Structure 1
Amino acid sequence: VCEILSGVFNGKSLGTPIAILVRNKDARPDDYVDLAKSFRPSHADFTYEAKYGIRNWQGGGRASARETIGRVAASAIARKVLRSFYAKIDIVAYVAQIHEIVAKIDRSKVKTADVDANIVRCPDKAMAKKMISLIEKTRAEGDSLGGVIECVIRNAPAGLGEPVFDKLEADLAKAMLSLPATKGFETGSGFSATTMRGSEHNDEFEMRAGKIRTATNFSGGIQGGISNGEEIYFRVGFKPTATIARDQRTVTVSREQTKLAARGRHDPCVLPRAVPMVEAMAALVLCDHALRQRSISFSNK
């Protein structure tokens, strides 16, 4: 439950900072006792201690995905701001792949209701069932899985983004890669563009209903760091959850070799929980750029 502490009165923002608090009422610190003396492989345990000389081993501190609740809460405000500017703007993220199971999804048609129709948040019902079965099997084996989340942004206007250091896709990439467990980002055709020719990849312009449009959208709705009015779409790769229930070789804080198998509650796959995180960061980035654009646009559109 979100508690709004300041910045809102009678349902409206005051223009002062909005403080939102979410209390963790289901913390189980005892599950992490074994982690006090050992570093989890591929987790932030070691790097946090290397940087700060201390770490919160009771849940991982800021390295825990629980940190993202603040981002998701803030994005609710960002979405309201965006829709006050662009009434039809729509941000939808979904699980496109888990391990080697790849969904078949028409991103131009997928809706939030389709995403929320199953616990894995994949709009391809047939593939969703296979994903769920694989996750359950992997959990029983004490292991974890990674995958890909795709996000599509519809009805964003042309003109959002900056030409050099604050390119729209650069800010989206930074935002997505700031999320826990992310390992990669690609927008539009992404790395597949490396095997295409310019004659194939170029999005030719055409007039449609009195507007300049592109016949294809390999650019992913962004050209030169600035949105072109087409659908903006990108993909985010997530690694398998680092904390697993299998014995792994590691070292203790006293630099002795040991083995570690995690106890407690740990997701065998972060993808379903990461969908709202991806949407949240997309909304925050777009809101920033929308406000910047309105500050320089004579038309205020």
Structure 2
Amino acid sequence: MKKLISIVGTTGIGKTKLAIEIAKHYATEIISCDSRQFFREMTIGTATPSREELAEVPHHFIGNLSVENYYSIGQFEKEAIQKIEELFTQHDVGVLVGGSMMYEKAVLEGLNDLPEADARNQNKLEQMLRDEGIEKLQQMLQELDPDYFGTVDQDNPRRLFRALDIIWQTGKTYTENIAGHVQKRDFDVIRIGIEAPREIIYERINQRVNKMLAEGLVEEVKSLLPFKNKLALRTVGYSELFKYFEGEWTLDFAVEEIKKNSRRFAKRQLTWYRKEENIHWVNFENSVAESLSLLKTLI
């Protein structure tokens, strides 16, 4: 059986570096399942791998879309599996990496046969978002499905729209809807998680945001003002700076909100990964050596 090595962990923990080193070791390619890095206009705020990093090994699903494109998790699952099958015609090992938990799950387990988006529900939710803000959607999901609310990217309206739409259509929680049959894949999966103390994770996130600012995050967000209502841009690092440009927040306050919301997302990632039983954990300080040593025993 071919082997797909899936690298997981919180935002800012070092997944990109580890994925590249493993891919180089096995002379293979990387499939990204980071849903924010799909969009070519959002390179700084999503910590997209640098040109130098992208040049080290072939990457797929990075910068392949525009913020103006609609792209669903179902489309990603189909295209990612197709790309992995192509990759396995030339390689025995592939690498999957990214912190978008549901996108990794879609590749490893498949998606349940969920109904398509309901246009009336979507319009209703869009109107709620405009009139009452994202807080209203968060409150509704927390009441209807507290389990999923605890792990979803609560600042991403697209995730909230999808969950609420499915709940309304099926009368069951989103958690119940996605807990069904796991699809059998034609490859084995080895999941490697990078772990660190929570205070280290939070400090790395703060440093990463500072690095983004130094690299031109404010200018990147300014260039995207005409597209600020696109769903892809309603996400951490962009939503906060849009409020700065609209005069609602100061720049310093917006930056602190980015750090706070990034830490909140990391906390949700930790909650999600703690429930998973098949992750081999390695220390963030020695992740490459520990991972390669582990993989020698598994491949």
Compute the TM-score of the two structures, normalised by the length of structure 1. 0.24
Larger relative contact order (C-alpha < 8 A, sep ≥ 6)? 2
Bigger Rg over Cα:
1
Q: Report which of the two has the higher share of strand.
A: 1
